[in-house]
Chain A
Amino acid sequence: GAGVSQSPSNKVTEKGKDVELRCDPISGHTALYWYRQSLGQGLEFLIYFQGNSAPDKSGLPSDRFSAERTGGSVSTLTIQRTQQEDSAVYLCASSLDWRQGNEQYFGPGTRLTVT
């Protein structure tokens, strides 16, 4: 079946603008994760959704970042008033459920450049 898809693949925006990044998880996967990958660094956890439970937002770096997941499927990560330090690749992943050891399947990412 189809894998995790993300759009856009690349986004260039001016400092101060808002951006929305979209993630379509694998059908049937109830868990969805957002990560940020900055140059020369590993993956930084941002937020996690599991079914209808309240999301774990503990990784969001500031209140400019927010995410939604509608209908338990598609998720949107929104960054308001973008800053240059927000430039990174934003990766979305999904897994069958939250249980430990379940493989996370990653999308190709959205490369965000803030000028």
Chain B
Amino acid sequence: GAVVSQHPSWVICKSGTSVKIECRSLDFQATTMFWYRQFPKQSLMLMATSNEGSKATYEQGVEKDKFLINHASLTLSTLTVTSAHPEDSSFYICSARKPGVRGYGYTFGSGTRLTVV
């Protein structure tokens, strides 16, 4: 299998604070992980591609200083939302790709619902 664990599943934080979301590949090593954001009734928007041992690649319009991504090991990537504001409230989902498995290699975490109050 290819299992991706994401934690926490939901978090409420105060405006101006930072929140860290973890994404772990449990039974495989993921050199690449992806972070998505989804607003209500909208599709998944890729925020960044996380590469183990190197800097993340951010999509156009995503503030790299606000959304810090660290892929320190082959099984863990973290997304930190810094100085969160209510407009950052969203559903954040990570995805990891299991190498050598075409098609079925893209597995999603269960998502994190962030609410900034």
Q: Do A and B belong to a common assembly? A: no
Binding site for A on B (CB under 8 A): none
